[in-house]
Amino acid sequence: MNTPLNSFRTQPDERGHFGQFGGRYVAETLMPLVLDLEREYRKAQSDPAFQAEFDDLLEHYVGRPSPLYFAPRLTEELGGAQVWFKRDELNHTGAHKINNCIGQILLAIRMGKTRIIAETGAGQHGVATATVCARFGLPCVIYMGAEDVKRQSPNVFRMKLLGAEVVPVTSGGATLKDAMNEGLRDWVANVHDTFYIIGTAAGPHPYPEMVRNFQSVIGKEARAQMLARTGRLPDLLVAAIGGGSNALGLFHPFLDDPSVKMLGVEAAGHGLDGDEHAASLLGGSPGVLHGNRTYLLQDEDGQITEGHSISAGLDYPGIGPEHAWLKESGRVDYSAVTDEEALDAFQLLCRTEGIIPALEPSHAIAAVKKVAPTMPKDSIILANLCGRGDKDIFTVAERLGVEL
């Protein structure tokens, strides 16, 4: 395909920079490894056998393509734009995370690595990683904040059933960023045999690009499906943002379609006016963490502050560097949704469409709820339903005051 002159799809540069963001801010011990990973990834990218195996597993193991679904009762309830969903919650393991894990484990095997590590917040990436490790017979260690181990206990049990060792991380705030620190510490000490499957489009280059590319299957399918079903492109894409992988997966294939607007939805927690949120773009500032320069929640001395969100998968004080760049370039709009609004949207989708969404995409649905009524009835919103809510029913029950 010819990329237009002003393409938004040609990032990052050869140093892994998305404008001023991204890069490879890692300890020297990891640097040769990160460079090696990039070389191997480039080889895999141009190897038709790699792509064929990836596609085959996505089709027969993950269950792709995921459906594109028009939500009639939600549309009617909101009284504006047509609301459509990309149903990535129907994937094996219940979220988009598995798309990326399939890609990375194939790469790990190609590189001769014999041990897999990963960090997880909500546990979805941990479950997806444990799943592909079981599928390919590799030992797997999952780092998970001790707080998240508590609030996502069903996923902890799932990972254990799948044969993973789950290590609760108690340092710092004991959530996703601390799990990522521990993953990096493990990697530094085991570089010879270990592959780190990062779960979102963040970390040192080439992770942000690589994860985005593996997740782009979402947007490629959705674009073709939408054209086939309606003969046109959507007017607005909406996706929730933790580190940003499901959003980039949906957005990236549409970035050079000027008629398609995009909205990334961050977690506003208890509200952007206080400190209890996880909105790095709207409530943070640029800095360096976990291998990349990006927007971070931090104080004036550059100390990282703890995010808060009802959704463990969005509770991260950073964001993938490509989103930082897309924000500054103005191509994508970003907004934020509170815990309360996400909880309302969660229940709304249950009642109107018979779908229990995860709390992460509930943030996207809440944004849809706000924007759909302002748009004409013949316009189309496509939101990423990137995870199902089974893992969240305990959190939701507690918030609704229901005892299970």
Partner 1 sequence: MTNRLTTTFAQPRPSLVCFITAGDGDTAANLDALVEAGADVIELGMPFTDPMADGPAIQSANLRSLGAGTTTADVLRYATEFRARHPQVPLVLMGYANPMVRRGPEWFAEAAALAGVDGVICVDIPPEEDDALGPALRAKGIAPIRLATPTTDAARLPQVLAGSEGFLYYVSVAGITGKQQAQIASIEANVARIKQSTDLPVAVGFGVRTPEQAADIAKVADGVVVGSALVEICGAYGAEAPQHLKTLTAALAEAVHNAR
Ligand X SMILES: Cc1ncc(COP(=O)(O)O)c(C=O)c1O
Nearest residue to 357 via CA among 332, 379, 337? 337
Instruction: Closer to partner 1 by CB, 174 or 368: give it.
Output: 174
Give the binding-site size for partner 1 (rule: CB under 8 A).
37
What do you get for the CA distance between the two ends of the chain, in Å?
53
302: contact with partner 1 by CB under 8 A: yes
Rounded distance between C-alpha atoms, residue 251 and residue 263, angstroms: 9
The DSSP output letter for 298 is B
Q: How far is the CB of 117 from partner 1 (least distance, A)?
A: 14
| Residue whose structure tokens are 């570089």 | 191
Residues at the interface with ligand X (CB under 6 A):
95, 97, 121-122, 124-125, 200, 240-247, 313-314, 358, 360-361, 386-387
Amino acid at 112: G
Instruction: Closer to ligand X by CB, 246 or 338: give it.
Output: 246
Q: How far is the CB of 292 from ligand X (least distance, A)?
A: 14
Q: How far is the CB of 288 from partner 1 (least distance, A)?
A: 4
CA distances from 13 to 19, 116, 158 (A): 8, 28, 39
37: contact with partner 1 by CB under 8 A: no
Residue 147 binds which entry of ligand X, partner 1, none, CB below 5-8 Å type-dependent: none
- Beta strands 291-296 and 285-289: pairing type? antiparallel
319: contact with partner 1 by CB under 8 A: no
23: contact with partner 1 by CB under 8 A: yes
Which residues are 266's β-sheet partners?
A: 336
Segment 187 to 246, residues that bind partner 1, using CB under 8 A: 188-189, 191-192
42: contact with partner 1 by CB under 8 A: no
287: contact with partner 1 by CB under 8 A: yes
Rounded distance between C-alpha atoms, residue 240 and residue 58, angstroms: 22
Contacts of 116 (CB under 8 A, 6+ apart): 105, 108, 129, 133, 138, 139, 140, 141, 194, 195, 196, 197
Residue 387 binds which entry of partner 1, ligand X, none, CB below 5-8 Å type-dependent: ligand X
Write out the residues near partner 1 by the rule CB under 8 A: 15, 23-33, 171-172, 177-178, 181, 184-185, 188-189, 191-192, 287-291, 293, 296, 298, 300-305
